[in-house]
Amino acid sequence: MKKRSVSPIGALHPILFFAGVYIVVLFFSIFICSALFYSCNTSNASSFSENEQKISEPQTNTSTAAMASVK
């Protein structure tokens, strides 16, 4: 009687490998898609803190005074 050269686990190895790859890709795609979704749905005003908003606003007092003295 001949011995089996292929074990049942060995025969399922490609199927188990691709099932594992599919699960890993599905797991990472959830994080990637949620990160893209949240980055697209943020508003600019809520992403800045109060200090950053004060810095990003133009200094109108000094620039208008300088422009008035030039004219």
pLDDT at residue 25 in the model: 97
Both tokens of residue 63?
């620039």
Q: What DSSP string runs through 6-44? A: S-HHHHHHHHHHHHHHHHHHHHHHHHHHHHHHHHHT--H
pTM equals 0.45
CA dist 8 → 4, 39, 68 (Å): 10, 47, 88
Query: Would you state the pLDDT for residue 49?
Result: 58
* Contact indicator for 56, 48 with CB cutoff of 8 Å: yes
Summarize pLDDT for 26-67 with one digit per residue, the tens. Answer: 999 999 999 999 999 887 655 555 665 556 666 565 555 555
Amino acid 34: pLDDT = 92
